[in-house]
Amino acid sequence: TVNITIDSKKLQVEQGLTILEAARQANIKIPTLCFLKDINEVGACRMCLVEIKGARTLQASCVYPVSEGLEIYTQSPSVREARKVTLELILSNHDKKCLTCVRSKNCELQTLAEELNIKELRFEGETNNYPLDDFSPSIVRDQNKCILCRRCVSVCKDVQTVNVISATERGFKSAIGCAFDLSLADVPCTNCGQCISVCPVGALREKDDTDKVWKALANPELHVVVQTAPAVRVAIGEEFGLPIGTRCTGKMVAALSKLGFAKVFDTDTAADLTIMEEGTELLNRIQNGGKLPVITSCSPGWIKFCEHNYPEFLDNLSSCKSPHEMFGAVLKSYYAEKMGIDPAKIFVVSIMPCTAKKYEAARPELSANGLADVDVVLTTREAAKMIKEAGIDFNNLEDREFDDPMGEATGAAVIFGATGGVMEAALRTVAEILEGKSLDNIEYTAVRGTEGIKEATVEFGGKKIKAAVANGLGNARKLLDSMKDGAEYDFVEIMACPGGCVNGGGQPIQPSSVRSWTDLRAERAKAIYEEDASLPIRKSHENPIVKKMYEEYFEKPGSHKAHELLHTHYTA
Ligand code: HC0
Ligand code: SF4
């Protein structure tokens, strides 16, 4: 440890900490703007400046390490003035249309302006005027709101290893963008939305599709149904001020029902169906010498990453459509028939923690009989916006169940929302098929947790299955490279977002002041596993609705009809 003084408070702190971290431990708040722990620690914005006794200039506390005898002042007049000037300069070239900004009230720049008591703007001058980049089906970039913090650049380059956005030019002209001023739609962006999640302001956001849904809801010709992904229920509460990791399944269903959807369904039901199809596919490939490993194909950011960077693995992908796409196909076939509704009149809305799902839903590979499986994808954030716009008092809603006749799902399905969940769900079913009996021990903890790459070898009925799980595209890259170097697996799960869907690019955005010190992935995943443990049925093959679907319609997993509707193929 070392002895330091911050604002005349004597402290003993661990060596290796930055001043910012040491101050935080002592409950002394230093403002930050570009700082995001482990992702962007560059000292670029100069907002976290502090005065150090004996030093000639003010120092950025987010990168300055503590040392013996350091005397630090976080609120001296020169520090306060320097921060204000820095902030005012940023504001002078910011478009300041807060009233109509998606991030109003959840903007780190707005919060800082309030906290630093900015009352007037001393430097009004020339402002940049960039065109909006809204050509991507998932991501909108508004450079006029960009404050050049570089968090998006760091997450895209270092965490996701996609590296399609970077700083261009210098000085007044400096900007964040794609090479040759291309749109995000025209570069190998995966639509993962991680850049949105880390953006402190409104410079990055999802393509807003709420109007399409309002319009559909108002159309009496349409039967508008909605389905919700596993990870949405453990995060949507954050949009309504509830603590991170609050389970809101019942309130979420109630709110969507109030919005006027004819039925509120659970993507989890289709996740159980996916396990039946994917499990069968895995066993088939193992038993008949098919291509191994089977790699999961439900994360559309991962699919696009694979297409651009690892086309040699495309044939390893499971042919299963992702659960919400399967559900769309089922709703426009089996359900349509059962209910006597023209499939063309069924409008399927998916609420997803994901921005890449918008891109996925528009892919021609994901349609059947000339109809897109899913009509509109909304993020968790957009769903919350609709609920707010409708004046629904979310926190005081009474819990409601998903609707019949497709409203049943298992614990195996809900864990899809956390990294390792698809693997665990598949193992719960594959184990029983290979052992030929019901098993009590169904928790595969080796594949749980936020570790970037997890491995497990399991043995059922004398068959060994080697499994690997990667979350975050940087980890996917590592795992795929190791496979190119000879590592062998039977079954691999890959999710594009760090932590899996719970930390998807469409989830509620937490500011750096929260995100840097709380593991969102772990907190939300904890709620997911609690939900699993609370459910009466926890194995996909025991889902009564899935059983019924096979009896009445699909016959058996992997049948001709199942292939027609529930499977697809991706080519580069
Ligand atoms: Fe996921 Fe999904 S679990 S991708 O991680 O497989 O987005 O939550 O809905 O479709 O079920 C996201 C989450 C889903 C799908 C499911 C899968
Ligand atoms: Fe990079 Fe993902 Fe953002 Fe695309 S969506 S720019 S891949 S972080």
Q: What is the pLDDT of residues 280-301, one digit of tens each?
A: 999 999 999 999 999 999 999 9
Q: How far apart are the first and last CA of the chain?
A: 54
Kindly report the protein residue whose alpha carbon is nearest to atom 15 of ligand 1.
Answer: 323
Residue of 135, 136, 162 to test ligand 2 pocket, by largest number of atoms within 8 Å of CB: 162
Residue 271 DSSP symbol: H
SS3 149: coil
Structure tokens at 388: 């707010």
| Contacts made by residues 94-98, CB under 8 angstroms, sequence distance 24+ | 94/127, 94/144, 94/145, 94/147, 94/201, 95/127, 95/142, 95/144, 95/145
278 labelled catalytic:
yes
Predicted confidence at residue 267, as pLDDT, reads: 98
Phi and psi angles of residue 354, each rounded to the nearest 5 degrees, phi first = -135, 140
48 labelled catalytic:
no
Residue 243 DSSP symbol: P
Percent helix / strand / coil, the chain, rounded to 5: 40, 15, 45
Which strand (E) or helix (H) includes residue 351?
strand 346-352
Predicted confidence at residue 327, as pLDDT, reads: 98
Strands 2-6 and 71-73: parallel
Structure tokens at 439: 């098993």
Phi and psi angles of residue 320, each rounded to the nearest 5 degrees, phi first = -65, 135
Q: What is the CA radius of gyration of the chain?
A: 25
Q: What is the largest CA-CA distance in the chain?
A: 80
Instruction: Give the CA count within 13 Å in the CB-facing half-sphere of 213.
Output: 27
CA-CA-CA-CA dihedral for 174, 176, 177, 181, to nearest 10: -10
Per the residue annotation, which of 207, 251, 321, 357 is the catalytic one?
Answer: 357
Predicted confidence at residue 135, as pLDDT, reads: 97
Low-confidence residues of the chain: pLDDT under 50? none
539 labelled catalytic:
no
501 labelled catalytic:
yes
SS3 295: strand
In angstroms, the CA 89 to CA 346 distance is 51
Predicted confidence at residue 259, as pLDDT, reads: 98
Strand partners, 228: 266, 351
Task: List the strands of the sheet with 59-60, edge to edge.
Answer: 9-13, 2-6, 71-73, 49-52, 59-60
Peptide bond into 131 cis (omega under 30): no
Per the residue annotation, which of 45, 101, 156, 501 is the catalytic one?
Answer: 501
Q: What are the residues whose beta carbons fall under 8 Å from the beta carbon of 34, sequence distance 6 or more? A: 40, 42, 43, 44, 45, 47, 149, 150, 151, 200
Kindly report the protein residue whose alpha carbon is nearest to atom 1 of ligand 2.
Answer: 156
What single letter denotes the amino acid at residue 33? L
User: Does residue 155's CB lie within 6 angstroms of at least one atom of ligand 1?
Assistant: no
Distance 193 CA to ligand 2 centre (A): 6
Strands 49-52 and 59-60: antiparallel
SS3 519: coil
Predicted confidence at residue 144, as pLDDT, reads: 93
In angstroms, the CA 30 to CA 13 distance is 17
What single letter denotes the amino acid at residue 511? P
Distance 523 CA to ligand 2 centre (A): 24
Q: Please, what is the Cα angle at 281 between 297 and 536, to 5 degrees? A: 80
User: Does residue 357's CB lie within 6 angstroms of at least one atom of ligand 1?
Assistant: yes
Structure tokens at 371: 């109809």
Q: Please, what is the Cα angle at 186 between 185 and 192, to 5 degrees? A: 45
SS3 320: strand
User: Does residue 229's CB lie within 6 angstroms of at least one atom of ligand 1?
Assistant: yes
Which strand (E) or helix (H) includes residue 470?
strand 463-471
Angle of helix 380-389 relative to helix 249-259, nearest 10 degrees?
A: 60
Peptide bond into 557 cis (omega under 30): no
What single letter denotes the amino acid at residue 45? C
Distance 206 CA to ligand 2 centre (A): 11
Predicted confidence at residue 125, as pLDDT, reads: 73
Residue of 142, 178, 183, 189 to test ligand 2 pocket, by largest number of atoms within 8 Å of CB: 189
Index of the ligand 2 atom closest to the CA of residue 190: 7
In angstroms, the CA 88 to CA 124 distance is 9
Per the residue annotation, which of 360, 408, 424, 523 is the catalytic one?
Answer: 360
Question: Are 116 and 31 spatial neighbours (Cβ–Cβ below 8 Å)?
Answer: yes
In angstroms, the CA 293 to CA 283 distance is 11
Phi and psi angles of residue 390, each rounded to the nearest 5 degrees, phi first = -80, 0
318 labelled catalytic:
yes
Q: What are the residues whose beta carbons fall under 8 Å from the beta carbon of 335, sequence distance 6 or more? A: 341, 346, 405, 406
In angstroms, the CA 288 to CA 235 distance is 41
Closest CA to 146 of 163, 170, 159, 129: 129
Question: Are 209 and 520 spatial neighbours (Cβ–Cβ below 8 Å)?
Answer: no
Structure tokens at 1: 């440890």
Residue 459 DSSP symbol: E
Structure tokens at 421: 């969940």
Predicted confidence at residue 126, as pLDDT, reads: 76
What single letter denotes the amino acid at residue 6? I
Kindly report the protein residue whose alpha carbon is nearest to atom 4 of ligand 2.
Answer: 189
